[in-house]
Amino acid sequence: MEVILLKITAILYLVAAVSYVFYVAFRNANSRIPAVALGAGFTVHSAALAAHFLREGYPAVTQLSDALSFKSWLMIAAYLVIQLKYSVNVLGCIVTPLAFLMSLAGFAFGSQGAEVPPALKTFWLPLHVTLASLGNAVFALAFAVSLMYLAQERRLKHKKVTALMKRLPSLESLDRLNSVLLFWGFPFMTLGIITGSIWAGIHWGDYWSWDPRQITSGLAWLFYGALLHGRVTAGLRGRKAALLTVFGFVVVLGYFLWGDALFPSRHGGRFD
């Protein structure tokens, strides 16, 4: 049942992604298909995650395939919140294909690693993973907004006018939204690292054991902290801020997908 719901979710995200592209390309402002498809996909996705929780007694976050699905669900949830406040439909052109690919990748990776030991089935599991994943989900939106900023800047620089580019918000609006998303994502990332360290201290006896995932999380935290510090104190704006946001998320996403294969750690399905 859960697998069927996830397959339906992937199909609905694909429909939403194609609909958003048509919606923007042909400037069909009256079309409700993208919003309906995305809302249906998010609802079915929520039902799949709820079914897993009711069956297993803990959230679907312990396997890479599960984590990809959970992160895409959080990203769509964050996008729906942003959409309510800022009404940036064009952002769906990037977010929905990304959600579809993450859902598809979840099927491709399949089930990996070992069962979660009973000792780790505590409230720390959903608390730590949800906070850390929520930070990444918000940074994913900041990544999408930065791509839109760079595309809009290029259009203005080369005076290339396309239907898609006409629908993009102004550079000022995109830079401001990027800043808002970074300021929202950083506290979630910080809380994710703190709860992870506390959980490690309780279960493994060390709050910080120089595990590769801990080290890279710390480096990512320093990077985003420096980026925010530059925005607040050094006037870091526009193209440089957008490029750094894209770079940061690409590195974080790359390590999430392949980091445990390159640098084995206690994460990634090994709960020794």
For residue 170, pLDDT beyond 70: yes
Most confident of 110-119, 165-174, 253-262: 165-174
Q: Which residues, in sequence order, are CB contacts of 252 under 8 Å at separation 6+?
A: 136, 139, 220
Q: Where are the alpha helices (DSSP H) in 57-123?
A: 64-86, 92-109
Which token pair is 32? 């409700």
| Confidence grade of residue 116 (pLDDT, cut at 50, 70, 90) | low
pLDDT of residue 161: 66
**Which pLDDT band holds residue 20 (cuts at 50, 70, 90)?**
confident
pTM of the model: 0.86
Tokens of 89: 């439909």
Cα–Cα dist 75/19, whole Å: 18
**Three-state DSSP class for residue 31:** coil
The pLDDT of residue 30? 61
What average pLDDT does the chain have?
85
List pLDDT tens digits, range 136-148: 999 999 999 999 9
Task: Return the closest-CA partner of residue 89 out of 138, 158, 17, 140.
Answer: 17
Please count the other Cβ atoms lying within 10 Å of the Cβ belonging to residue 230: 15
Burial of 269 (0-12, 13-18, 19+ CB in 10 A): middle
Contact 181, 138 (CB under 8 A): yes
From 31, 134, 133, 162, select the one nearest 89 (Cα to Cα).
31
